[in-house]
Structure formats: structure tokens, C-alpha cells
């Protein structure tokens, strides 16, 4: 059994891929699935491309074609709340598709036939991911120089656990974000894939965890070099956090 690790951009998992001891590469549906060992654990690594359709297609292929026991999604996201800063980390709890509206047939945000407005991440994995992230925060300097963090305005990044909203829109204006928060006021960040992956994992009964690095504020100032931020910051965050996560997860399983 393997753990599947997905991101929407290759830059977001570049650091993980460099550490991966690759045993096989499989080309499927215009994606490359990298099988191997990462920190002594069997994994399959893949980047899905952007959006809900791309990510749902990727995770479905991953679950059906590989022996996957858990899915982890990682990458960048835009902050949805004023108290959340660039460099903060969001561990997802409930995931919503903010652009799903089949009313009046069903309520807004409800997924037809499933009767659910949101999908929950796996509670135990979420707690382990939180522990792993707290450890990473103490050793962040081992992965990224302080000067590099400060150059991007990252001084003392914080960890948040809460709701994530996904949709096939890049949220880059205060008006767009305001419309989402009117309906989903507790959402901590917005992105384009997480809730779609969460739905597939729910339907296949595969535990799902998601951790996002905040790259912008989802408003009219949301203009950064995303590939650069993903490669230099988010990818390194993912490397350190997942290393700790595996240590915690498999230490707990051996008790």
C-alpha cells in the first residue's frame, strides 16, 4: 500500500520529487505518476494540473490504478480572512465547492445525489498533520533561509485548521472573495482543487488530508510569481512537513 501525494503545479512538489527514490514512472492521461519511496515510505507522486476536473481525474486514476491507502494534497492557496498572512499554513477540515449551485433542485453547495455540502478530511490524519506542522515550524530554518522568508514578507508563519473553498476560478479580487464569504463566512482560504479531490476520496472511502501554504490574499493585490513562490516556499514547506508527518504516522502505527 502507498500514500498518494498530489499537487496542482509541479513546482509545489519539486522538493519532494527530488527526495523520491523512483522505482517506476507511469504515463497515464497526460500525467506522470512517480512511484517510489520517500523517507522510507511507499508513495506515488503526481501533479494534477489546475482545476476541479483535472484534480478529480488525477485522484480517480491514482486510486484505481495504484494500491493507495491515503491521499495528501499540498500546494498554495489564497487567504480568505484578514488575520491570515502570506506563509501561513492551512490544514483543511471541511471542503466546499463554492461554485456548486444546483438550486432549486438541491440547496446551494450541495452535491447532487450525495446530499453533502462539504467533505471532511480524515480526523486522525488531520491531527497528525497538525503535529507535523508544529514541529516543522521549529525547524523551518533548516529548509529555507530566514532572509528568503523575510524577502517575501514571511516573518512568523502560523498554523490554522479550518474550512477551504474550491472552485474553477482564480480568486484575485475583493469582490470575488466577498461573494464567497457572504455564503461561506468561515472559509480560511480559496483554491481550485481540494474539494473535488475530497469528494472523490469520500466516494472511494480513501482517507484524505490537505495542507495549503498561503501565497496571496485573494484580492486586487494577488499578483505574485506563483511558480517561484511554489518552488522556493511551498515546496520546501511540503518537504519538511511530510517528512515529519510520516515519522509521526508510522511511529503511531507501530505502537
Point out the catalytic residue in the list 12, 191, 193, 232.
12
**Residue recorded with cell 480568486:** 171
Q: Taking the chain, what is the end-to-end CA distance rounded to the nearest angstrom?
A: 19
Q: Residue 205's CB: how many other CB atoms inside 10 A?
A: 7
DSSP of the chain: -EEEEEESSGGGGHHHHHH-EEEEEEEETTEEEEEEEETTEEEEEEE--SSHHHHHHHHHHHHHHS-EEEEEEEEEEEE-STT--TT-EEEEEEEEETT---TTTS-TTPBTTTTBS-EEPPHHHHHHHHHHHHHHHHSGGGTS-HHHHHHTT-SS--EEEEEEEE-SS---SHHHHHHHHHH-TTEEEEESSHHHHHHHHHHHT--EEEEEEEEE-SSTT----HHHHIIIIIHHHHHHHHHHHHHHHHHHHT-
Establish whether 193 is a catalytic residue. no
* CB-CB contact of 243 with 106 (8 Å): no
Establish whether 12 is a catalytic residue. yes
Point out the catalytic residue in the list 88, 191, 193, 216.
216
The residues assigned a catalytic role are: 12, 216
Amino acid at each position: 500500500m502507498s500514500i498518494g501525494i498530489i499537487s496542482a503545479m509541479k513546482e509545489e512538489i519539486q522538493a519532494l520529487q527530488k527526495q523520491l527514490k523512483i522505482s517506476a514512472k507511469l504515463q497515464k492521461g497526460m500525467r506522470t505518476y512517480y512511484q517510489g519511496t520517500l523517507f522510507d515510505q511507499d508513495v506515488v507522486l503526481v501533479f494534477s494540473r489546475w482545476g476541479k476536473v483535472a484534480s478529480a481525474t488525477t485522484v480517480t486514476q491514482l486510486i484505481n490504478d495504484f494500491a493507495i491507502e491515503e491521499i495528501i494534497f499540498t500546494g498554495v492557496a489564497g487567504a480568505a480572512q484578514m488575520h491570515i498572512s502570506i506563509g501561513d499554513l492551512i490544514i483543511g477540515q471541511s471542503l466546499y465547492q463554492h461554485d456548486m449551485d444546483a438550486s432549486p433542485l438541491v440547496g446551494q453547495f450541495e452535491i447532487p445525489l450525495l446530499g453533502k455540502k462539504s467533505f471532511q478530511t480524515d480526523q486522525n490524519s488531520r491531527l497528525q498533520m497538525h503535529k507535523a506542522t508544529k514541529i516543522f515550524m521549529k525547524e523551518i530554518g533548516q529548509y529555507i533561509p530566514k532572509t528568503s522568508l523575510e524577502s517575501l514578507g514571511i516573518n512568523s508563519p502560523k498554523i490554522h485548521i479550518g474550512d477551504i473553498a474550491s472552485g474553477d476560478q482564480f480568486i484575485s479580487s475583493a469582490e470575488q472573495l466577498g461573494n464567497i464569504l457572504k455564503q461561506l463566512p468561515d472559509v480560511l482560504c480559496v483554491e481550485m482543487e481540494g474539494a473535488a479531490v475530497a469528494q472523490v476520496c469520500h466516494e472511494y472511502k480513501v482517507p484524505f488530508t490537505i495542507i495549503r501554504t498561503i501565497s496571496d490574499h485573494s484580492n486586487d493585490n494577488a499578483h505574485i510569481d506563483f511558480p517561484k513562490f511554489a518552488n522556493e516556499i511551498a515546496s520546501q514547506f511540503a518537504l519538511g512537513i511530510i517528512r515529519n508527518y510520516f515519522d509521526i504516522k508510522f511511529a503511531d502505527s507501530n505502537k
